[in-house]
Structure 1
């Protein structure tokens, strides 16, 4: 199974409220496909209702159901789009979720309304990790050759180099800022 990894998109947390001046996440431009989430706010799609302006977007998308527990099985689940007047399920979309033992992958279809985004994770976000107008994600292609346990806890063989950790990325950004101010 091939999938991309959305890395450290902390604003997708259900505990992040869109701030004045924030650029809303817009998954109407997301390429439909399989994704794995790797974020310090949580790696699974939100399964509880969220209201407008949560998850770093105007119209959040949350899963109306439970996460699959059976390993190596793909299930179809409903995702709801929250809207105005407290309506937390204005429109439904079908997504696919695959349990790969220690993580899940999600087939995310194209959404039809701009400024809509899938919610992942529910841990609190202390502050935006980047100034407004910059991206706080890294899209890292991965090829999952096998989605079954191998040698105990090993799940997938990958054929890429790991993206930098959050701390490494921040060190690089600080170094680049220091160099540009000296020049």
Structure 2
């Protein structure tokens, strides 16, 4: 480690190759941050590359330690100043098996972060660093799904009977921000592993359905999972949402309108840098005849009797690439 001075604060460069997320402790040995005498701010490097802590769960035995530690909340923005962030160590599939004392993080001019670390409570826990970024190819693949709604007569005063027999069109996109207002442009976009993926789904009911009747339908996210090929039937399948139950995913809207939104942290499936495709199955629910709000339970799945399934939507590939 060696010191460096910047205009607003002093920091120490922490440049330990063994902290990389692709460093297996079973191969290179285990390290521990319990007895480190942390002093002040630290900027993370791998070689000559400025890096950062991951914002996603890291598999056990990676980062040169038994229980790798990651940030439980996103990094701050430049104007946020110094913020406090939670830190967790993963163990046997439990991403937060070891919840540690929080640390302080600050975003700096020059597009990097500094950290005020604290000693861990036990061994072998150590802070991780992200070495890789992910490149998204064709992120704005809005694959449209067409479905014929079950025709049902609607009694209306004055002008007789109208029918819900039109098509419904669904699309899915990835967005730049948490407001879901800026979809990614067509082409290649580069993001670091651990970034938050904002996924938005919208459904348009056919024009023959009057607005007041279209409002009776809402879209529900049933399942979302990732595969390593464009085929939704490919194995293995890594579920983010299953039977409307979420797994390390924040569902921000589902079952309340004709749009659904959720966010998830980008991570490496099985620790491999392969193409990843996201598949989501949806259903249209008639909220006049049943409850459409997803009810999460570890023991049972959501039951909605008056729902119509939509065809599966797919976006991708998500390509992970090492920057050297």
Mapped partners of 1:29, 1:18: distance in 2: 18
Q: Does 1:94 align with 2:133?
A: no
Secondary structure of residue in 2 paired with 1:19: helix
What's the offset of the Cα at 1:36?
Answer: 0.9
Secondary structure of residue in 2 paired with 1:25: coil
Cα RMSD of the aligned pairs, angstroms, is: 2.0
Secondary structure of residue in 2 paired with 1:47: coil
Residue pair 2:34, 2:123 contacting (<8 A) in 1 also: yes
Q: Does 1:107 align with 2:113?
A: no
* Aligned counterpart, 1:173: none
Secondary structure of residue in 2 paired with 1:37: strand
* Aligned counterpart, 2:52: 44
Q: Deviations over 1:50-98 (max 9, x none)?
A: 1210111111100011111124710111111112x31110122201001
Structure with the higher fraction of residues in helix conformation: 1
Mapped partners of 1:78, 1:106: distance in 2: 12
Runs of 4+ in 1 over 2 A off after TM superposition: none
Residue pair 1:24, 1:56 contacting (<8 A) in 2 also: yes
- Count of residue pairs the alignment pairs up: 121
Mapped partners of 2:75, 2:109: distance in 1: 12
Structure with the higher fraction of residues in strand conformation: 2
TM-score (norm 1): 0.60
Q: Does 1:65 align with 2:68?
A: no
- Structure 1: unaligned runs, 5 residues or longer: 125-183
Secondary structure of residue in 2 paired with 1:68: coil
Answer 1 or 2: higher relative contact order, Cα 8 Å, separation at least 6. 1
* Aligned counterpart, 2:228: none
Q: Does 1:116 align with 2:158?
A: no
Mapped partners of 2:98, 2:29: distance in 1: 23
Residue pair 1:15, 1:123 contacting (<8 A) in 2 also: no
Mapped partners of 1:72, 1:49: distance in 2: 24
* Aligned counterpart, 1:78: 86
Mapped partners of 1:114, 1:14: distance in 2: 18
Mapped partners of 1:73, 1:42: distance in 2: 20
Residue pair 2:32, 2:123 contacting (<8 A) in 1 also: yes
